[in-house]
A and B are shown apart, each in its own frame.
Chain A
Amino acid sequence: MGVAIILIILIVGSVVFHFVSPWWWTPIASNWGGMDDTIILTFWITGTVNVAIVLFMAYCLIRYRHKEGRKAAYEPENTKLEWALTIVTSIGVAAMLAPGLLVWHDFIEVPEEATEVEVMGQQWQWGFRFPGKDGLMGTTDARFITPENPFGLNPEDPNGQDDVLVEADDLHLPTGAPLKFLLRSIDVLHDFYVPEFRAKMDMVPGMVTYFWLTPIRNGTFDILCAELCGVGHHIMRGVVVVEGPDDFQTWLDEQSTFAQSQASLKTAPPSASRLTSNEGDSGSIETR
């Protein structure tokens, strides 16, 4: 009897905990509410089953506990009951799988109008790259990486010249339009994870992975690495600022391009300042 009571307290307590828990998901900042909705559906279906099973067990422990003279039933199987349970379970499973796969379909099909932004991971910092005015990303390879070319851009590729580079600094993104994140790493596995975005994907050296999302509200969010990448894994942090498209464009114009970074290296010692214009000629040379 006592055991059954404890089980009932356990399951009721678990349900209560769920509803009063202050630990729940971070308010969403992207269009992937479908993931949250599927989680809620899964909670209802599996939670009901969980509660039902535990309560039924508690009932059995009370009703069928050993008493002098009690004899258990002898029933090797009950095919009808077992088939019924199989069918009900299969329906429940399908009810969870279907929405999950629909959301997955949306997740892997990137909208045509999405603009690209690249996230580059390395031990233990983030780098970001935008395609620049030509809208095209230059090709990259780990073999091009040097201290002067930390993103490994192919110097022969004209598309890469105007790519905007942001190294070890905050990432800014515009709200309201779909963005395709191209993800790569130059050393080990990393994972670009912003809890408010819900979407994440590993960054694998030697290949380019992707996910897409549309930011739906402004805010400042933490970037966390979500794939073990060595002793600095837990401090590989960053910040992403989601803002209105005009503010974003202002910020973007302030960042330097690949061409500018190469130019300033040729003419000045390593501590050259950033140039603010990205038109054609290299303009005046500032030294410090």
Chain B
Amino acid sequence: MADVTRGELNYVAPAEVEDVELYHPKSWITKYVFSQDAKVIAIQYSLTAIAIGMVALVLSWLMRLQLGFPDFFSFIDPADYYQFITMHGMIMVIYLLTALFLGGFGNYFIPLMVGARDMVFPYVNMLSYWIYLLAVLVLASSFFTEGGPTGAGWTLYPPQAILSGTPGQETGIILMMVSLMLFIVGFTMGGLNYVVTVLQARTRGMTMMRLPLTVWGIFTATVLALLAFPALLVACVMMTFDKLLGTSFFMPALVELGEQLSYGGGSPLLFQHLFWFFGHPEVYIVALPAFGIVSDLIAVHARRNIFGYRMMVWAIVAIGGLSFIVWAHHMYVSGMNPWFGYFFATTTLIIAVPTALKVYNWVLTLWKGNIHLTLPMLFAIGFIITFVNGGITGLFLGNVSVDVPLSDTMFVVAHFHMVMGVAPILVIFGAIYHWYPKITGRMLNEGMGQFHFWVTFLGSYAIYFPMHYLGFIGVPRRYFEIGETNFIPESAQTLNATITVIALVVGFAQLVFLFNLVWSYFKGKKADGNPWHATTLEWQTSETPPGHGNFGKELPIVYRWAYDYSVPGAIQDYLPQNMPNDVAFPKATKKKRKARAKA
């Protein structure tokens, strides 16, 4: 078939945007603190996200200590435990993964990859970070306020979220609501930047179908975020009103620990619909950037075009669209109208098809490739393995009647950790090893990286794969301890203890990674501007790290798609997107000239 993604400029050039008038910082504060440069903002997002993510990681160690050795750690009581699981979940999903993929990777790489000097609304972009930071600080403050943070579960279901049987009633739940509302405001500001920059600020020759998949993934995820977060926002506002003003959006008539409360007429299910209408797209907001990034990692390090680029783009968009009509698969046993079960099971299993196609295409990119087992490639391989495993268990849970016995068991916990906690995190690591030389001019240390990869990949697999089987027994999730039962064997507790030990070892490996990040900044092997020989525009900048304005005096012009690796007849094994065709194909150009002369 004809190659539609490379060729002469025989189409209507995109509307030329006048070179954006950038704000040029003059002081140290406007250069590194209140910066409007998307690259600085990206680093700020990333460091903040990693910092709060470390808090969530430590919480997970505490949770595992309790689960693995229930009678031993008496300083952890049930209230503490439920606070730990709530904050661990909320921080990881929203404040780490979403912030890091969109605010971190999005800010750094969207302008560079589309050939723009910066985001289109730089001042608003800067504001978006400071609001995100405020949201993080408000959330973190709940550890220190009266009653501690909320222990309502990251899903924050009413009525229990605002009633006295759940920890955090004094201040924690309100601080959580305020923090989420701030986060959503900040991410709307950032999100508008990412979307409009991709649509309007692409450089000459960069059509949508020449964009690297990293951009497609982050772009689609941002569209999802802009449409889905409002549902969470209104749910938070309504829950706050129920708590502070005594309204009954979500609160039916109820008797709390012997006392008749003055609520009435509200629906707990309404919250669940609102939450999951946001919550399901949210998991794709985390997954789609990972999909896009891993496609680029595989292509670069296998020296091969991503297999089926058009289908990959179609799949990202289809998954994004479908993600809005599957939400109630989180509610199969919620008591909602059972007829919804038919609809949502069908849409959920349909969304498996484009997802599976992406997996096939990643693997087919390795096929007939020229595979370099670099650290980014290893993490990409780890992603495929864990994502396939985690995605497949989604097929169990998405099938409504199969979900009935498995819902609210450790099977669900194993599923979402594997598919959202392990797979995308492996992509984040791979992406950091891949782009660290562009951001800092140095390579990350290989030895520490190998240790980090093998311990994290094999360890995470060993944690979550057996955990599914605890769910098959029927061990429920969100239990402080299993306690006495008729049916759970002693060996299950041994398994819990083993998982805890492995989790602590994997946790230690992350500390090695953090050390590597800092150590390599000062002592890492110096890298040139394009150590992996990649084609995308961020590697073609004249300065490393890229200077303010990204591309120096002249914006690049793009002549081809992002995946011209190992092209037959080309001058080298990779063709940068901004390399003109007569340079890339010196011999072919002569033939074309002759052919054109004849025609």
Contact = CB atoms under 8 A, between A and B. Distances in A.
A202 B333 contact: yes
Contacts of B309: 76-77
A60 B363 contact: yes
Contacts of A201: 333, 335
A186 to B, nearest CB: 5
Nearest to A53: B388
A226 B407 contact: yes
Given A42-B395, A204-B269, A107 B333 contact: no
A222 B486 contact: yes
A199 B308 CA distance: 43
B363 A53 contact: yes
A21 B492 CA distance: 11
Nearest to A18: B469
Nearest to A67: B370
A77 B314 CA distance: 13
Given A26-B474, A200-B333, A206-B268, A104 B400 contact: yes
B547 interface: no
Interface residues of B, number: 112
B473 A93 contact: no
Interface stretch (A157-165, A229-237, A270-278): A229-237
A65 B458 CA distance: 21
Interface centre among B359, B369, B378, B409 (most CB of A within 10 A): B369
Contacts of B166: 230-231
Given A72-B369, A76-B3, A97-B345, A24 B473 contact: yes
A60 B267 CA distance: 53
A31 B203 CA distance: 63
B404 A205 contact: no
A66 interface: yes
B357 A230 contact: no
Nearest to A77: B308
A14 B458 CA distance: 12
Interface stretch (A83-91, A168-176, A255-263): A83-91
Contact of A142 (B252, B335, B378): B252
A43 B200 CA distance: 46
Interface stretch (A111-119, A128-136, A189-197): A189-197
A193 B396 CA distance: 19
Contacts of B401: 34-35, 38, 100-101, 103-104, 107
A167 interface: no
A146 B372 CA distance: 72
A46 B254 contact: no
B566 interface: yes
Interface string A1-18: 001001100100010010
Interface centre among A77, A122, A196, A207 (most CB of B within 10 A): A77
Contacts of B82: 228, 230-231, 233
Interface stretch (B37-45, B100-108, B137-145, B151-159): B151-159
B371 interface: yes
Contact of A22 (B157, B407, B491): B491
B389 interface: yes
A14 B468 CA distance: 12
Contact of B254 (A34, A205, A211): A205
B235 interface: no
Nearest to B389: A50
A241 to B, nearest CB: 11
A61 B492 CA distance: 36
Contact of B566 (A56, A73, A141, A199): A73
A101 B159 contact: no
A34 B5 CA distance: 50
A74 B568 contact: yes
Say what secondary structure dominates the interface of chain A: mixed
Contacts of B359: 53
Interface centre among A32, A122, A227 (most CB of B within 10 A): A227
A56 B363 contact: yes
Given A23-B470, A96-B349, A104-B345, A75 B159 contact: no
A65 B371 contact: yes
A222 B485 contact: yes
A247 to B, nearest CB: 19
Contact of A186 (B254, B364, B381, B388): B254
A227 B332 CA distance: 13
B78 A231 contact: yes
Interface centre among A23, A66, A141 (most CB of B within 10 A): A23
A285 interface: no
B357 A57 contact: no
Nearest to A152: B255
Interface string B473-484: 110101111010
Interface string B324-359: 000000000111001101100110011011001101
Contact of B489 (A23, A79, A123, A207): A23
A152 B82 CA distance: 30
B551 interface: no
Interface centre among B153, B160, B366, B381 (most CB of A within 10 A): B160
B165 A70 contact: no
B160 A189 contact: yes
A147 B259 CA distance: 10
A24 B492 CA distance: 10
Contact of A77 (B254, B268, B304, B307): B307
A180 interface: no
B399 A96 contact: yes
Interface string A263-287: 0000000000000000000000000
16 contacts: A35-B405, A38-B402, A50-B388, A50-B389, A54-B388, A61-B381, A75-B305, A76-B309, A82-B360, A82-B361, A85-B357, A186-B254, A206-B268, A228-B82, A228-B478, A231-B79
Interface of B: 1, 3, 5, 78-79, 82, 151-153, 157, 159-160, 163, 165-167, 252-258, 260, 265-269, 302-305, 307-311, 333-335, 338-339, 341-342, 345-346, 349-350, 352-353, 356-357, 359-361, 363-364, 366-373, 378, 381, 384-385, 388-389, 392, 395-396, 399-402, 404-405, 407-409, 458, 461, 465-466, 469-470, 472-474, 476, 478-481, 483, 485-487, 489, 491-492, 495, 563, 565-568, 573
The 6 closest A-B pairs by CB, nearest first: A206-B252, A195-B474, A230-B165, A209-B335, A100-B399, A23-B469
